[in-house]
Structure 1
């Protein structure tokens, strides 16, 4: 037993030593942003790692390496954006979070067909859970195979259905940005709830993809906690990966360098993960009523479009449904979500998944949910927070589905860029 314990300890220590420490990295926090600085924040966000979604009237946070700190500080000073150091050194936070995750994985082993909400599950655990759930419930659950990631991981989701023809379709994906660990537990809760309630399956066919960026998610759990992008190599560059939420084939914008945090890829749908989701959306456009991408953090419910402040023709429907969901979440826990058009008061985006689902004429309702932040670094809610986020979010999502099914609306195709 002593030998086994020593081997486990060596494995944990070896894993910790391989993990990026983020030594000397800082997190800067600005004063609440004003409308006049948003164009500059938009440009900066392409290069530097802004956390959460910069919003007018709210502070922004940005992670900077020791080499970037002076440049970003100087830029804020030129723009007269008041700011402070929120986190002096990320290394102790990363070390603590990593050690806690290792401890909980040993203390709380995964059980077959049981989602874990007391710690963060790995990609392999989540993928195994999806397959076990399908095998145990063949009459209502089936595999959604969207292909393989760049590194060969399965992009597998689950369909939950009563089997009736002509059902409306609703879609949820989680963790397309790798470090947003709080999202997959919400997707797993959706699966649990729909499996348990035949009335929900009578309402719609539910499609759930718990990990939309398996390579990046895996990398963030083993190597680099705040990794955001995919893991596709970029030719001639040491900077790896593409921002998958800039890679969808709707108003895709080629601007950006390999090392940018929002690098959109070499072409639209260059990332197999995005192409797989995009193919599903296009193939199910006739039945798709609702598309939801679950992100973190910010307590925001965002709807199309990200490239213009002009409201879409059915913006009132999109806002009303989002507000219904936000009201229910607030009634559960007091967490207040703001329902916003993606571009109005935020920075502009191109090639986002919800804009694609709406913009190609598929989902009349399309949203990005920015789940609440937590922990000192925002993206690292402690495991003890998982259950609370899941418990408050599910009723809001259930309400969203019920409302959108009962109040159909249709996307109005925009003028091409």
Structure 2
């Protein structure tokens, strides 16, 4: 073997070995939860990696390491929550998906693609290319630099009409939710192609709200959720960005750095979050719609996450969300429910949509939980990207139509 071949082999092996294998990890699935079991599930979710959206009437799925499995099973048994092993070993699926994505990676994409998951640098370069290609309507905004030196980029699409209302969409705030950036990219495609959409409003789209975390899922750990901000415990970096916004921020356990929902030392301690939050406040006069795209659960959630008490314009929030859900269902029959965040998801503090609504005075604020897929929800195969973006875009368009008409 030549010296060059040996170097290449070592590089390939190093890349493979560096990617977290998840060998021996299991995914457990409960029976549909009752209201009596939810307080226990909420407490467990602070310490273990629950997927999807646990809620009354819905099952919960939780990923556990070999060491965690007996602890969670014992807790379920104590709570008398029926459960099953959904995936006995997550390792082979993670290995397959990682190899598939690496094999289809491209260096310099000129257009968004929907037959594979694009990497962080691909998406960032694509945004820059769009601003160069369409300088009259597209502007690349850099909100901040991340702890690892990446940029939180927003693409503004506008015909330049004065006094227009503004719309905001962000994706991949939680790093592992790979199905979300394609939805933001599809929104960009549609708005660039249709001047009438730009005449309706100015559009701000952030395909990667958490670029450090997303890049880490692509190259190191498929199921990483948080940012990559350093913490006092070097073994547990990262902050849950959707618990770090400056609205009823609640530290919970401020030293539980390893928790998937660790909220940071204080509100806006994550620079990515502070930049998005400040943008919302700075544009409060024009911003009428905030949408955070997450996965998974097939839900359209509206404020608040800390209470089930209805907000003043709850009827309009439900009506707009229902129009969106109906448009999604019309494509392929997928049913999205429209629910209050606390009732439909679980009680949360420091969430982005609550901040946009409660601090930013954005009249219409939502979190979309897209369809799941793959082995247990968070890893839909690339073959599902196109169907998801095809059905969600009409829902986004219907939501925008309702908001701007009311």
TM-score under structure 1 normalisation? 0.94
Alpha-carbon separation, structure 1, partners of 2:176 and 2:64: 16
Q: Which stretch has the larger CA shift, 109-118 or 396-405?
A: 109-118
Alpha-carbon separation, structure 1, partners of 2:188 and 2:47: 36
Alpha-carbon separation, structure 2, partners of 1:382 and 1:292: 24
Are the equivalent residues in 2 in contact too, given 1:41–1:347 (CA < 8 A)?
no
**Correspondence for 1:16:** 16
**Correspondence for 2:392:** 393
Relative to structure 1, the CA distance from residue 80 to residue 290 in structure 2 (aligned partners, 3 Å threshold; closer, same or farther) is same
Are the equivalent residues in 2 in contact too, given 1:284–1:362 (CA < 8 A)?
no
Relative to structure 1, the CA distance from residue 112 to residue 68 in structure 2 (aligned partners, 3 Å threshold; closer, same or farther) is closer
**Correspondence for 2:51:** 51
Alpha-carbon separation, structure 2, partners of 1:83 and 1:287: 48
Q: Per the alignment, in what secondary structure is the counterpart of residue 176 of structure 1?
A: coil
**Correspondence for 1:124:** 121
Among candidates 150, 155, 160, match of residue 158 of structure 1: 155
Alpha-carbon separation, structure 1, partners of 2:93 and 2:274: 35
Are the equivalent residues in 2 in contact too, given 1:297–1:373 (CA < 8 A)?
yes
Alpha-carbon separation, structure 1, partners of 2:319 and 2:107: 39
Are the equivalent residues in 1 in contact too, given 2:157–2:198 (CA < 8 A)?
yes
Query: How many residues end up aligned between the 2 structures?
Result: 403
Post-superposition shift, 1:11?
3.7
Q: Which structure 1 segments of 5+ residues have no match?
A: 408-417
Are the equivalent residues in 1 in contact too, given 2:23–2:89 (CA < 8 A)?
yes
Among candidates 226, 232, 237, match of residue 240 of structure 1: 237
Alpha-carbon separation, structure 2, partners of 1:208 and 1:5: 43
**Correspondence for 1:265:** 264
Are the equivalent residues in 2 in contact too, given 1:216–1:228 (CA < 8 A)?
yes
2:337 is aligned with 1:358: no
Relative to structure 1, the CA distance from residue 343 to residue 137 in structure 2 (aligned partners, 3 Å threshold; closer, same or farther) is same
Post-superposition shift, 1:209?
0.3
Relative to structure 1, the CA distance from residue 155 to residue 57 in structure 2 (aligned partners, 3 Å threshold; closer, same or farther) is same
Q: Per the alignment, in what secondary structure is the counterpart of residue 66 of structure 2?
A: coil
**Correspondence for 2:326:** 327
**Correspondence for 1:90:** 90
Are the equivalent residues in 1 in contact too, given 2:109–2:122 (CA < 8 A)?
no
2:272 is aligned with 1:255: no
Post-superposition shift, 1:110?
5.7
Are the equivalent residues in 2 in contact too, given 1:180–1:379 (CA < 8 A)?
yes
Relative to structure 1, the CA distance from residue 249 to residue 9 in structure 2 (aligned partners, 3 Å threshold; closer, same or farther) is same
Alpha-carbon separation, structure 1, partners of 2:56 and 2:127: 39
Q: Which structure 2 segments of 5+ residues have no match?
A: none
Q: Per the alignment, in what secondary structure is the counterpart of residue 28 of structure 1?
A: strand
Q: Per the alignment, in what secondary structure is the counterpart of residue 343 of structure 2?
A: coil
Alpha-carbon separation, structure 2, partners of 1:12 and 1:386: 28
Are the equivalent residues in 1 in contact too, given 2:108–2:122 (CA < 8 A)?
no
Over residues 229-279 of structure 1, what are the superposed CA-to-partner deviations in whole Å (9 max), with x where a residue is unaligned? 011111145211110000000000011211111000011000000001001
Q: Per the alignment, in what secondary structure is the counterpart of residue 151 of structure 1?
A: coil
Superposition pairs of residues 17-96 of structure 1, within 5 angstroms: 17-96=17-96
Please tell me the root mean square deviation across aligned C-alpha atoms, in Å: 1.5
Over residues 281-335 of structure 1, what are the superposed CA-to-partner deviations in whole Å (9 max), with x where a residue is unaligned? 0001111110000011111111100001111111111111111101100100111
Alpha-carbon separation, structure 2, partners of 1:114 and 1:288: 28
**Correspondence for 2:215:** 218
Among candidates 158, 175, 180, match of residue 177 of structure 2: 180
Are the equivalent residues in 2 in contact too, given 1:281–1:362 (CA < 8 A)?
no
Alpha-carbon separation, structure 1, partners of 2:190 and 2:91: 38
Are the equivalent residues in 1 in contact too, given 2:233–2:257 (CA < 8 A)?
no
Alpha-carbon separation, structure 2, partners of 1:13 and 1:237: 26
Alpha-carbon separation, structure 2, partners of 1:76 and 1:9: 45
Q: Which stretch has the larger CA shift, 374-383 or 270-279?
A: 374-383
Over residues 14-44 of structure 1, what are the superposed CA-to-partner deviations in whole Å (9 max), with x where a residue is unaligned? 3111100111111000000111111111111
